[in-house]
Amino acid sequence: MTSHPRATQPKYQRIAEDLKRDIDSGRYRPGDRLPGENDLMVTYGVARMTARQALGVLQTEGIAEARKGVGVFVREFRPIRRRGIQRLSGRTWGSGTSVWSADIAARDLTVDQLTVDEREAPEQIAAVLGLKPGEPACVRSRRFVLDGKPVLLSESYLPAALVAGSRITDPDTGPGGTYARLAELGHKPVHFQEHIRSRMPAGDEAERLALAPGTPVFLVHRTAFAEDGQAVEFNAMVLDSSSYILEYDFDA
């Protein structure tokens, strides 16, 4: 006779499964405080480290979040539905609307870290943009914060000679953003290509995105092409995977 898989699990995993089952059943709802270490020690007759590991499982999986000095709470998940096709439509930025409008509706979005400078692009990005050795790129680096939580790091590269003297070199690019300004310069983006993969974050990425331990990130590399086929922008983005649903809606 084979033993039940639960019987061979470490105690902390069994406790974590019980808590997840209680969350799924609605006993604990988003925003509710979960039983603390002391409560779990009494209920399950385990050591503090075991109780702590159980709560850590839920935090690592993005189900719960710790609030310093208060406890561990069921995470309120309001995903960003990143509509990969609609957000890049010319009808969006061409009308002076941010590409984010397709994703977040009326939620509170801010950019709390922003730099714009000229520097040499990494070799692979320079090759995509057709830059010669030593030819600078205009680089726009930003951190986006939604409802008080960092969700995206973005570093956008454009040929410096192409955008010189335009609002693209200013912190505020104006209505419609970079793509609307490129259109005004005669380099309207008409085709986009995105490559997406997932990995664990680098140390600085985890810190800047305030990621819970064990949370992976999405890497999105987007290239924008003008009508003549020239690549006019390369955007390297790092997304908090626990905050996003990647959505693609298109006709057959």
Question: What was the pLDDT predicted at 1?
Answer: 46
Taking the alpha carbons of 142, 236, 202, 241 in that order, is the dihedral positive or negative?
positive
CB 84 within 8 A of CB 247: yes
CB 156 within 8 A of CB 99: no
Instruction: Give, as one character, the DSSP assignment of residue 147.
Output: T
How far is the C-alpha of 173 from the C-alpha of 194, rounded, in Å? 22
Question: What was the pLDDT predicted at 183?
Answer: 95
Tell me whether the CATH fold assigned to 5-74 matches the one assigned to 80-247.
Answer: no
User: pLDDT tens digits for 184-232?
Assistant: 999 999 999 999 999 999 989 999 999 877 789 999 999 999 999 999 9
Question: What was the pLDDT predicted at 158?
Answer: 98
Q: Where are the domains of the chain?
A: 5-74, 80-247
What stretch of H or E contains 246? Answer: strand 244-247
Q: How many CB atoms neighbour CB 121 within 10 A?
A: 22
C-alpha dist (Å) from residue 106 to 97, 102, 113: 13, 10, 21
Question: What was the pLDDT predicted at 204?
Answer: 94
Strands (E), 75-203: 80-83, 109-120, 136-146, 149-159, 189-199
- Taking 70 as the pLDDT cut, the residues of the chain under it are 1-7
Indicate the SS3 state at residue 8. Answer: helix
CATH fold for the domain made of 80-247: Chorismate lyase (3.40.1410)
CATH fold for the domain made of 5-74: Arc Repressor Mutant, subunit A (1.10.10)
Closest CA to 243 of 203, 205, 216: 216
Question: What was the pLDDT predicted at 148?
Answer: 86
pTM (two decimals): 0.77
Question: What was the pLDDT predicted at 6?
Answer: 62
Question: What was the pLDDT predicted at 245?
Answer: 87
